[in-house]
Structure 1
Amino acid sequence: MAATAKLHLALSFVGIISILSRFCTAYTPADNYLISCGSSVNTRVGRRVFVADDDSTSGSVTLTAPKSAAVKASPDTAASGSDEAAPALYQTARVFTAPSSYSFRISRRGRHFVRLHFFPFACQGYDLASANFKVSTQDVVLMDGFAPENKTTDGTTSPVRREFLLYVKRETLVVTFVPLAGALAFVNAVEVVSVPDDLIARPVQTSSGQLLDPAMTPLQTAYRVNVGGPAVAADGDTLTREWTTDERVLVGSAVTREEAYNGSLNYLPGEATRDDAPDVVYATARELTLSSWLDSSKQMTWQFDVDSQPSSYLIRFHLCDIVSRAPHLLRVDVYVDSYTVVKDLDLSTIGNGTLAFPYYRDFVLDSSNPSGKIAIYVGSSSVMNMSNSSILQAPILNGIEIMKMHFSSGSVVVVEPAAGSKTRHLAIVLGSICGAFAVVSVAAVLVIFLRKKEEKVLPTPSSSRSQSPTPWMPLLDRLSLRSRRPGASGAGSSKFAVDRDMPGAIPIAASQVPVPSYRFPFAVLRDATNDFDEGLVIGAGGFGKVYRATLPDGTSVAVKRASPESRQGAREFRTEIELLSGLRHRHLVSLVGYCDEGDEMILLYEYMEHGSLRSHLYGGGAAGRAALGWAQRLEACAGAARGLLYLHTAMPKPVIHRDVKSSNILLDGGLAAKVADFGLSRAGPELEETHVSTAVKGSFGYVDPEYVRTRKLTTKSDVYSLGVVLLEALCARPVVDPRLPKPMVNLVEWALHWQGRGELDKIVDRRIAAEVRPQALRKYGETAAGCLAARGEDRPAMEDVVWSLQFVMRLQDDNGLEFSDVNSLSLVRELTPPLDSRRASSHQNEAGCEEGEERCH
């Protein structure tokens, strides 16, 4: 009892010292938003004040919630919390029945804590316990399919608190709540608080032996534990973090004791500060007793429950030698699962003989155990000090933080602030517009003067055509689609004329059937797009913005207008017109028409109602896109492959797309996939040639590495790009994501690693994981890996890819086949890949087929 009283006295002293030191050196955040959601009055929690979310006087926080309600719990509803005032924060909530958001103006870019508080209760017709929703920012999904529970193991109610550490690089952070499957979303409180730049700044050793820089990686707090010490409330931490005790996670048979230090801590330059952990964490510790230490089988052990899906975790160990009476007596070994974090660590050597100085060591566990457990062991293999034969100090540990290296395969959803929230900037905007108008007016007068002067020396049209055209010259003299007037011969048909000497042009067969593509007046397109209203923008790319428009006859079209800042120009414009006017296929986006009046370069396509494949996988800027099921993703990939096969085989020379990616695969009203954006396409090699030599073009992450290395372009380059799309469809994550741990940055390398181990199922998008049949996934992985072979000659032809994907769909079918069924001769015939028409004639000649023989048809 006396020892216990002494420990409590020491802890009280440590707490007083901690509070006094914190008032002297407390960190002042540049952004400090504390929002009490659904409340009409401010709520005080300790020394912090959470502001009512309907208080818009500051103008720095905007609530955009078209369908929301502020609700309040009944007086008999109680929530337990670590702070006596905390339950007041959970008596109100903001309920959302449609996607809604809170937007925060960020004054200082960098790391920020984003904390979300949830306490479900039933009130005013809403049962918050039945909620199911996702939460995302502009860059990352924080929670997906979140359904909070308000019952703990002992039957009491307790709030749910989720903390994320994000690198915010925008002027505005938008936190969006999206109800799922007809349910509702809610939140009781939101915190957005900036933290010091150096909180997560050092390169970290990983379990694979690599060094990782996690400076901009999104993190989610899983555990924050004051080992051997008391719980710490938000007011006891300079960054308002909460620390729990370690009793619930301490396991094993080793005997330990709690230690407390009542002296002054020695903070050293370049080592831990009070912003890394409060004094009370470093001034308390858990120590292995001598009897357990002398038993080499005994170690202090903590076990933590984590996600059952293997994930990466950043683990921070806080250490401070508060037990040694002299330097070089403490040796510590730290292990995470089967990995060694540090062996025989002597803190006083790091501190040049100093004791009681705060220190931390970070470690990244690349992939957690599928059991959903992380075990941490602390001990020491050194018992005797060889210099004086004295017994060394038993090992200790002061604190543990475990942070999931947060990333999501789901799609982000962003509900931007309402336009009305920007009225406070009206004076600034008007001043900018006036200044810009003055500059533009002067420039316009100068341009008109120069043009009039130039008109006096313009060459004749015939001579101008012989010169290299500028990217912004009208194409009227070089390219036209002339539709005949009704009543004329051949009414309703159109004639296509091209200048075949233009570099990069793809020749169209003279016998090509007429196509329904027309030249539209600019005035018609301006009316159809409401003068190119920004509200009608449905996409943007290297060429320019794409608008949804309605033609006078009621036809919905997509209008792609070239931007003056675009690096693409007349060549890409002409390529698309020539190519799409000569090709028609149900898996290629159809060209409706074009406009080349003045400096305008505009293309009109059939409108694709469901946007891009990318937007259904992980966002791509299209808010609210529904996730596709596994069968739908398979059909989309197979459709894209069929469209590319047509490009490769329909013309005397194959057409190579060169920019195959998920954002260029569009989905129509029936979710049929169509390949789009042919601005970079070009004619492939002749039948007797193997490749064409050309400058490398395409999108980063999708371009064939062999093409990049050799500048030799073949149809197999499209096959490689489609292989990347196959992995995207399976994993639903970006092709290159530098925010992820190094082994995961490149999707191709990451996925091929798991495919090579026969464990591709571990990285399947969790939203479809339950749908994927093992035999279908096996064949799908083999197909993708074949497409991604390092050498083009080792990749399958596109017709083989089409066949393989059809085979995968049959394997996936609930009433489909197993691998043993392939022995059926009828099935083999049914799934036989189509034969390239350019290769068919040579095959027939080699086999000596007669024209009437059935096997040649």
Structure 2
Amino acid sequence: MVINTYIYIILFSLILLSLNTIQVFSANSNSSNPYILSCGSSKDSIDSDGRKWSSDSQYISGNSTTAKAQYQDPSLPSEVPYMSARIFSSSSSYKLSVSPKQRLWLRLHFYPSSYNSLDKSSSYFDVTANGFTLLKNFSASITAEALTQAYIVKEFSLIPIASGNLNITFTPSSSHNNSFAFVNGIEVIPMPELFQTANMVGFDDQIIDEQSSTLQTMFRLNVGGQYVGPANDSAGIKRTWYDDSPYLFGAAFGVTFQAEKNVSIQYPSNVSESVAPVDVYSTARSMGPDPKINSNYNLTWVFQVDSNFTYVVRFHFCELQLTKVNQRVFDIYVNNQTAQPAADVIGWTGKIGVPLYKDYAVFVRDETGDDELWVALHPTVSMKPEFYDALLNGLEIFKMNDTRGNLAGPNPVPSQMLQDAEEATAGANNPSPRAGGSKNKGLVIGGVTGGAAGVVVAAAVCIVVYHRKKKSQESGVGAWLPLYGTSTTMTSRKSGTNTGSTSHVSSLAAALCRHFSLSEIKHGTKNFDESQVIGVGGFGKVYKGLIDGGSMKVAIKRSNPSSEQGVNEFQTEIEMLSKLRHRHLVSLIGFCEEEGEMILVYDYMANGTLREHLYKSNKPPLSWKQRLEICIGAARGLHYLHTGARYTIIHRDVKTTNILLDENWVAKVSDFGLSKTGPNLQQTHVSTMVKGSFGYLDPEYFRRQQLTEKSDVYSFGVVLFEVLCARPALNATLPKEQVSLGDWALHCQKRGALHEIIDPHLKGAQINPECLKKFAETAEKCLSDHGLDRPSMGDVLWNLEFALQLLDHPGEGSVVAEVRASDACAMHIATLGIEEESSTASVPVDGLTDSSVVFSQFVNQQGR
């Protein structure tokens, strides 16, 4: 008995020892664990999505240095991993232990910025991984500029590595002087085998073996659906799925829809959820209900790619509406060749709600010099289906390595159309352009996502449609990148560095503004300490500061030295605000222009921007009366700009981030960097390059490039709906018809359903029907397509005051309306403006330079 007990003890001890050995082996083997590396970081860190990024220091060999980016682009989704970088002056490698039998996702993150005074335009380098050339003579700076993205993510699917060691090598290009390599983040994620074989389009008997190839992700689209971020991807693979609409060719968008509640997505045994998430298969794009129209056009997408490579085009299908064979049958074309005749999703799957995917391979030759890949769907009329229609749920395009193990294409070249678009849609709030392009080679997965589209953002619908039509009219072809941001700019900083010998400020403006020394500014901001940052814009960071021995709190806006905008905005802001003083305009206290710095000093606005009190904030919601009073204050400020000086001043960038709130919740219009003196009495408009922010931009101004004060009225109309609905002016994550708040609110208003999109915090007793009706009617008139149909800012102000009176005294609307007359209104508004005036500058705004005439607050008391 004792012997048996000893035997059991020995056996139990051996089992524990074996388990411990296995655990130790597993802990020391990274074969099944992902690597999420923040390059150049000395410690582990967490990104904005809660993902942990580890330091890369233990995996790097060779000569390298670490650096911090000098500027954080507002469109970066997170500081991690983009604000730190690993810099290579010679060939260096990362060595990672991986499973020898598992395919890997490799993602390389690049943020081209200024690091250790290195010129980002000098960075050209190669990247190889275990014998495969991933990038050759790659310039992240050129790529980001051409693709109008702040950062770049290159994604590759690597074949299993027999040695179990993954070597990623960065080599500065020898063909460029002072070249260096850099990387901000590296992800190596074990993945299931998602690749098998693909039929070669145009060759019935040729099969392409995907499993033996390393591939680069070129496009990954949730067709007919919204942006799907890494956090919502399947199987922990952390992929990003973008909206497909920017790539659609022509005006035929088809229709989008999603699965009804009674349709559940059921993956078959031969399709795992790791292929694509439920969000992709539960939405779709079809051609629409009209068989005559559908039989005469193709539903087409166009993509820019690198020539002389083979591409795998993966189509994701899931029937969400029909249940029988031969109800929806269509042909699939890739580069004008039939890839699949008579595709019938129900015929393939047997029932509704079952996902599947089909892979087709095509070789893109460099024959025309226009490297494009076309995908098209068309009803199979010969099969006489019940519905002449086609369907697609998702689309992926992968580049395959060539016979030399190469995947690298050339750096992209900005198209002329992109340059024209940038010039036509320049704005003030982002340091880099955010518009779509049509001839960008070497496209990448990644970009400015910001929790949405990017991506996608893509997102300023009127801009996209305008340029798509323009391109198709000119050449008959076109491909589109998502619009990842909502504001653009092409204002360039003058070459050279200002040392203080040459000023960008006129002597008159300088005389009216206080000049601060750089040492005063540094002292007031604790040497530009990051803890003092209260905002970031296209001009640069905004710091909270103290001046005059700490007795006065101010906001200090510092131009980003590496930004390509600044001089014009700096000069215009001072020229304008030095001559304007009004209770509802932000006051400029002074400026600093030393040692290449351009700094503006304003009154401190304790309650920040209007937008941060509406959404995407933990701050308590504003009451309806507060919102109405804030709108009235902003309207007073804009009305003063339009009528209170010798010439009209047009703001050109009215939006909720440019309406600031002081400690007493008084609204003040800010950011006059794009402002322009309006037409005189002999003119109806000012012809000028289009500038502004997507979502707020006057469509008539964009079409005709003719600026009037009614452009501000349109933008203010969007602000009114933004205040009412508490959602962004553009939201690319919503269905296409809801992306633009202005368009969607007008649609809801016209069908009597505006109450459905009002901020839930306001529903109930906060707004009485009369007040809501007057407010909504005012916003609707502001958004009239033609400027002549829009009210003046004075009329807008009167109507908002009227709405406030209806809120305080419901039922008195008819009495007030009868009293109002146009002349009385003009005088009433003028009086309101005078009463709100805090002080009046003693210089005119006549070209902003003439000091010989003193302007009164209202030149014409009868209004305009």
After TM superposition, the score normalised by the length of structure 1 is 0.45
* Structure whose CA Rg is larger: 1
Which protein has greater RCO, CA pairs closer than 8 Å, 6+ apart? 2
After TM superposition, the score normalised by the length of structure 2 is 0.45
